[in-house]
Amino acid sequence: MEIYNYIKSLHLIFVVTWFAGLFYVPRLFIYHIEASQKPSPDKEILTSQLKLMTKRLWYIITWPSAILCTLFAIWLLWLMPAWLEQPWMHVKLGFVVLLIFYHLKCHQIFKQLQRDEVKYTSQFMRIWNEVATLVLFAVTFLVILKNAFNWIYGVIGIFVLAILLMLGIRLYKRIRDKNPNA
């Protein structure tokens, strides 16, 4: 089973790069949305650059990482089919499905912004950006703790984390409203 460790390593590398893309692309969406509200010529210059940056991140890092992460995950499950009998794996796969939906929604937003269709506020995007963080926390704890995972504390912990993230976003908004250069 020496190949298992190589496949697991590759899976983890692509998990990291996939999440890097999912963490940064909404940040670029925020900048794009805010740039679209600037006067000319700043608006055109910034949105053009942000479109290019987002396109490169999305198609060169995020999509390939998502695909490779998924392929290596399937390979790991093929090598270790007993994992599919574990309750923690069912929950983890549920979070993975949620992450895939998040990724696809980000793709939809990406396409809209590439066409200069701004349908969301930068404040919404700041909140949206935290979905991937919550999934990462949940999946990491599930994988590390497996059967020792206490569901009550886990659910409470995810909600507390979500509340803390929302409070952080609100605090940042207040700071920005007082000092627009922050």
pLDDT digits (tens, 9 = 90+) for 75-124: 999 999 999 998 889 889 999 999 999 999 999 999 999 999 999 999 99
Please give the pLDDT value at position 152: 66
For 35, counting Cβ atoms within 10 Å of its Cβ (0-12 exposed, 13-18 middle, 19+ buried), the class is buried
Residue with tokens 């939906």: 101
- As a whole number, the mean pLDDT across the chain is 91
At 1, is the secondary structure helix, strand, or coil? Answer: coil
- Domain extents in the chain: 2-178
Closest CA to 162 of 139, 133, 122: 133
Amino acid at 36: S
Binding-site members are 11, 92
Average pLDDT over residues 134-159: 77
DSSP state of 39: P
Alpha-carbon Rg for the chain, nearest whole angstrom, is 19
Please give the pLDDT value at position 147: 61
pLDDT digits (tens, 9 = 90+) for 122-137: 999 999 998 999 899 8
Q: What is the pTM of this model?
A: 0.85
Give the Cα separation of 160 and 157 in Å (integer).
Answer: 5
Binding-site members for heme are 11, 92
Average pLDDT over residues 25-54: 97
